[in-house]
Each structure stands twice: as C-alpha cells, then as structure tokens.
Amino acid sequence: MQSYALTVDKFLDHAAKWSGAREIVTARGGRIGYAALRTRSNRLSGALAVLGLKAGDRVGTLAWNTQHHLEIYYAVMGAGMVCHTLNPRITAAQLAAMVNEAEDRVLAVAANLWPLLAEVAPLCPGLEHVILLDGDAPTDDGLGDHPATVWTLEGLLTAHGAEAVWGAFPEETPAGLCYTSGTTGRPKGVVYTHRSNYLHTLRGLQADAFALTARDVVLVAVPMFHANAWGLPFAAPAAGAKLVLPGRQADGESLARLMREEGVTVAVGVQTVWLGVLDHLEATGGALPALERVVIGGSHCPDALIQRMETGLDALVQTSWGMTELSPLGVVTARDAPRTETRAAGRPMMGLDLKLTDADGVTLPQQRGVVGHLKVKGPSVLDRYFKAEADSLDPEGYFDTGDLARIDADGSLTICGRSKDLIKSGGEWINPTEIEAIVGRHPTVAQVAVIGRADRKWDERPVLIVEPRQGQAVDARGLIAALKGQVPDWWLPDQVARIAAMPLAATGKIDKVRLRADYVDGKIPVEEVAR
C-alpha cells in the first residue's frame, strides 16, 4: 500500500479538485469556490514562511466563522504549523495568558475585534505579527509601543503570497490547539494532531453521524474558535458540501434569513442558537423550506424543546454529545433512530469506545441500564493536556469525561449530568439534570437550570432557575407541582427564580458558574415555595 499521511490539507485538496466551484458563503462577506479558496490559503502558507514561521510554530486566531478564518485554518495547518483558535468572548487577561502559554508568534484577527486585540497585545511581548483578516489596517495601529508588525490579509498575500508545499510532515504532527472553556477550573489546552483530525472527520461523516453529502448546504453556527467547530471545516470540504458561515451574526433573524437565502439543508449549533431562530419564525410566520436536519449539542436539551424545534423548523433534530478533549464529537443520534419521548444523546461511531465506572474509577460489571461515570478512548481522544507533565488517562487508557451517563440496551448514550453539578443534600445526591428535563417540558419555560445553594441543615438544597418562554408567565408553584411524583419529594426545590435571560458561557452553554455566583451575590431574586 502507498504511504499516505493522514493530514488535513488533503480535505481541501480533494474539494478543490473535485468540487472546485462549490461555494463557501460568508454572511455579509461574499462567496468563493473551494478551488479559489485553496489557492489563497496555500499562498498564505507561503507568506507565513516569509514572515519566518516554521513547522511547529503557533498561530493564534481571534475571529468568527468566515471565509478568511477558514483560509487561516488551512494555511497554518497545511504548512505544519499549529492553528491556535482563541475565544473572543473571554477576557483580555485570559486571552493573553493563553497566547503566552502557547507562545503564539502571530495573531490573525477580525477587524471588529481590533479593540479586544488592543487590550491583549500589550500583555503578549512574544507576539511578532498581527494579521487583520478583513478591512483596512487602522491609521493608528492601536498597539501602543508593541513592536508587532501589522498586516492586512490582502496586503500580506500581495507582498509575500507564494505557493507552498502542504503535508510534508508526519501525520502525528500537531495541527490545532484549543483551550477548554474552564467551567470546572483553569482552562487547559488540547492539542489536535493531523491524524486525530483526519480520523475524527471520517467518524463524523459516517451515515449514522453527520452524514454529509455533496448535495448538502451546511450552516456552521458552532464557532470555529471552539473545538474545530465540531470538525465541520474539515468534513464539509471532504464531502464537497456547500459551506455557509454566519460571521458574527448569530441572532435568530439573521440566521433564518441566511438559511433561507442559501437553501441550507443541514444546520449545526447549540440549542440556544435555535431558540432565537424559533422565536423569529414564530413571530413572523416564516419558514425554512430547504432545511432537513438540525444537529444540536453542547448540553442536555429538554425533550419539549426538541419537539418544539422539530415542529417549528419542520426538520429532523439530531442530538449529539462531545467535548473539546474528544476533538470534539462523541456520539450522535442517527437520522433514522426511533423518535422516543426521551431522546438519548446518540450512539458511538467506529473510532470511539465508552465505559462506565463507579466514583473510584472501577469499571462497573454491568454496563447497560445503569448510571456511571463516563470514560472514553479512541484515536481522537486527548492523551495529556498541553504542557502537562502527566497523561490524563486511567490504567486502561480511558479519559474521564466528568459526566454521569447511562448506556441503553441498544448502545444509546444518555448524559445524566455533570458529576460536579450533583447536589449533596442530607448525605444523598440530587441530580439537577433530571429536574431540568421535567421542568423543561413545561409550556411556559424556555430554558431551565438547577444549582445548589448552601444550607445549614442539609449542606445543599436545589434552586430552580427558569427563563420564561416569550410572552409567557411562569407560576413557581405550578412548576414544583409538575415535579411531584416524578422525583423524590426531598429533591423538590424550595426556591424558584425567574430571570429574563440565562447567562451563557463562551461556548453557548448555560453558565452555571455565573448563576451560582449571581445567586450568592443576591443578584437573582428567588421565591420561596413550600414543598
């Protein structure tokens, strides 16, 4: 057999040769075919070499889902450098800490994020070059005395763009770096290799996973700065699918208009994104006639919201679960899976193994129909964190996800909550996810979260926090009544809070860390409810 390194540049090479005219569309930013994008991206690799970058160097990106961000992806990875995607929704101090730890030599930045860059750059003495991805360079570069050279992307291509050789390195070469969201502590870096990304892409393209084809038009509403945008920047060109990128506009009206105009057939994003789209369609009577499937993930989605999405969007909803450390896809519900009242997250595809353990890490003798701590293993699962001194695996090579889960008889995985979110009350555990699933079905509730509060007698007690559905009034006692008989009485929250909008973490999940802090600070008014 031929020696053929599994490197991600081959996805764009394939798309350029066999689907060259298929488009990449950026909202308010134009469109380009795969062949032309491949040419630009390859010439950008040559320009980065002229700037002195070499294989293994890290290039940071501070950008949205756009054509230019995709060009940077392939320019950096194709040349053997590491694409370090940075989340623009975190603080300048946090970003600077990541840039410095990664030793990024270059930052590629969206023009509308220049004010954030101006805060970050003075904290990053090792930064040598800044590439403005769109727009003109400011007359005053805004970086103060920082010695970094500022380029526009087009100026850099004009001055130094040159053809470059792609993929001339082993497949185990690092390709990407992404930091975890930090919801359980300090963010940690996860390094993806070309091999892991390549195998992850093949896993995602399986018929029981994303199942993309050349006829599909794919909206990527998951951010490219987080966990490879679920691998879609690789999977879409690999399949020859049309790629639709929303830029910074992720509100319901903008997404609905873009999906309708471009004929999107598959849309991918966390559930909070689709709430905005649903609200807009319901308010305007609009529809998305081309839409066939919506893939959701990020956190547990209440069954009632899934049903509302399928009705309001007139599309099939595929649930999924994953995490940064998994590259990130874990399981997906197949298109033809039975539509049961309670949806599992999905089934694992070839390339990922699962097991359940007890709290001490001992493998449970019974793996089906019981709840345990979920561990995973596979060629696109983290071995050790960036610059860590030790592996993060158990003796059998499995990574602890921190999730509680159940595997059904047919192999479907249901996430039962984060082990860190469990509430210990009177020496016994309360699982917030079970309460959230029930309350989430209530017709007046848009989003729901349960957090623990300190209690002198019981150690902790659950607090129910809800965001009312648009135009609805929430009755606290009615919500508690809906829980009775479905969970033990001692699980019932005795405090209910209504808030206008759930705080969201940088990845689009409900930010329970923020909710706990706001509760402690007295920023969340609560209603006492007798149980």
The catalytic residues are: 180, 325, 424, 429
Spatial strand order of the sheet with 445-455 comes to: 445-455, 459-468, 495-498, 526-528
Q: Which amino acid is at 360?
A: D
Shortest CA distance to 166 belongs to which of 279, 41, 53, 27? 41
Q: Which amino acid is at 9?
A: D
Cβ contacts of residue 206 below 8 Å, gap of 6+? 349, 350
Q: What is the SS3 string spanning 58-88?
A: EEEEECCECHHHHHHHHHHHHCCCEEEECCC
Q: Which amino acid is at 241?
A: A
Separation of alpha carbons 445 and 378, rounded Å? 38
Kindly report the number of other CB atoms within 10 A of residue 388's CB atom.
12
Separation of alpha carbons 295 and 317, rounded Å? 6
Separation of alpha carbons 46 and 180, rounded Å? 31
Q: Give the CA count within 13 Å in the CB-facing half-sphere of 303.
A: 14
Separation of alpha carbons 440 and 301, rounded Å? 8
Kindly report the length of the chain. Answer: 531
Q: What element of type H or E holds 218? A: strand 217-220
Shortest CA distance to 151 belongs to which of 109, 116, 122, 112? 109
Separation of alpha carbons 112 and 132, rounded Å? 10
Whether 189 contacts 227, CB under 8 Å = no
Separation of alpha carbons 73 and 201, rounded Å? 15
Whether 380 contacts 351, CB under 8 Å = yes
DSSP state of 148: P
Separation of alpha carbons 176 and 73, rounded Å? 9
Separation of alpha carbons 464 and 482, rounded Å? 13
Q: Which amino acid is at 504?
A: L
CA quadruple 399, 191, 238, 31: dihedral positive or negative?
positive
b/e for 399-435, b at 16 or more Cβ within 10 A?
A: bbbbbbbbbeeeebbbbbbbbebbbebeeeebbbbbb
